[in-house]
């Protein structure tokens, strides 16, 4: 199988794949070339800090055709902003009938509107994908720490087939037909995790001694807003309160790049400085773009009762006061 994107999650997925007896072609974009070079040199993966399994062959950004040759499954693990283009480019080189699993979490544009990734991929690349959602920290997965995720697609046979190829005793997979609902939750949780980080930043800046109560209120409001926005795509209520909604929001708000983005902004750094700092550390934060995309999604569908999403957009893109906006949003 071929995994596109050699960052945290792309590299981590090589572990359950090879534990299931598959050989893996790990391809990196131009942003991953230094990661691929390290793996080829026999070093630890620079981000995971681990050696990749023996069944993995690494390919740099110029070698996409070689990476895809003979693949019986393609897994997309590049960022959501690049996912549609990369899948469209790669799909032309796949044999007919090869399934595609999409790990990216975010929204994209199609026909002038903000839509879920599967819809954008279907429109642009003419490809159907199975979507992965749920709480999955890459380093833990790579260390074989028990992880539970959701594979979503209206095509039950295809999601079950891919599940059979990748599931292990530590990488457990639930199935769902609610693909759009899962994708929307996955994008929103990245945005809302920044709100949790903002609280940590206010504490770090000395504007509060602790904000556990506020975090709990924001977490609850985030789930409410996920449910409200989800009605626009026919989301099933169980999706919001399952692994792909509450579960993924919980882990993302506790640790990770989106939480860190919020902490830095909450501590007083302007957004431009936060973005520059994280980019210098190669810490790409999907929640930053997700706030803009999800706010656009809400406005296009005339969903107005989203005070936390509105506050995040004002804080991150408008420079508004963090404490005032969060207190207003948490009611």
User: In angstroms, what CA-CA distances link 193 with 10, 79, 190, 309?
Assistant: 22, 17, 5, 11
Among the listed residues 105, 126, 137, 189, the single catalytic one is: 189
Cα separation, 141 vs 164, whole angstroms = 17
Q: 189 an active-site residue?
A: yes
User: In angstroms, what CA-CA distances link 51 with 9, 14, 311?
Assistant: 14, 11, 42
Do 291 and 317 form a contact (C-beta atoms < 8 A)? yes
Rg (CA), the chain: 19
Nearest to 190 by CA among 231, 269, 245: 245
Alpha helices in the chain (DSSP H): 8-12, 14-19, 33-40, 64-68, 80-91, 117-125, 138-142, 156-166, 179-204, 212-230, 237-240, 248-254, 257-266, 271-280, 286-300, 307-318, 322-329
Cα separation, 167 vs 286, whole angstroms = 26
Unique residue bearing structure tokens 């995040």: 312
Do 101 and 160 form a contact (C-beta atoms < 8 A)? no
Nearest to 265 by CA among 209, 311, 297: 311
Active-site residues: which are they?
A: 189
């Amino acid at each position: 199988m071929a995994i596109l994107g050699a960052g945290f999650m792309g590299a981590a997925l090589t572990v359950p794949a090879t534990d299931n007896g598959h050989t893996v072609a790990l391809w990196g974009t131009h942003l991953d070339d230094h990661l691929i070079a390290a793996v080829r040199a026999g070093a630890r993966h620079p981000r995971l800090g681990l050696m990749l399994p023996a069944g993995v062959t690494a390919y740099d950004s110029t070698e996409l055709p070689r990476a895809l040759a003979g693949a019986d499954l393609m897994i997309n693990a590049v960022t959501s902003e690049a996912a549609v283009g990369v899948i469209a480019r790669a799909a032309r080189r796949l044999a007919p009938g090869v399934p595609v699993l999409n790990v990216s979490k975010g929204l994209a544009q199609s026909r002038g509107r903000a839509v879920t990734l599967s819809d954008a991929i279907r429109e642009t690349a003419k490809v159907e994908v199975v979507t992965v959602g749920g709480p999955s920290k890459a380093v833990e997965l790579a260390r074989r720490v028990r992880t539970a995720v959701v594979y979503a697609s209206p095509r039950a046979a295809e999601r079950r087939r891919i599940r059979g190829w990748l599931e292990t005793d530590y990488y457990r997979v639930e199935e769902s037909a609610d693909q759009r609902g899962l994708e929307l939750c996955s994008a929103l949780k990245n945005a809302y995790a920044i709100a949790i980080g903002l609280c940590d930043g206010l504490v770090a800046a000395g504007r509060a001694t602790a904000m556990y109560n506020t975090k709990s209120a924001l977490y609850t409001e985030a789930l409410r807003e996920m449910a409200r926005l989800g009605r626009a795509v026919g989301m099933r209520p169980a999706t919001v309160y399952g692994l792909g909604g509450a579960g993924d929001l919980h882990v993302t708000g506790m640790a990770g790049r989106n939480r860190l983005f919020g902490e830095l902004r909450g501590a007083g750094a302007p957004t431009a400085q936060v973005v520059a700092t994280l980019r210098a550390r190669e810490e790409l934060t999907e929640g930053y773009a997700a706030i803009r995309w999800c706010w656009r999604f809400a406005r296009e569908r005339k969903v107005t009762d989203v005070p936390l999403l509105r506050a995040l957009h004002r804080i991150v893109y408008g420079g508004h006061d963090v404490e005032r906006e969060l207190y207003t949003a948490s009611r």
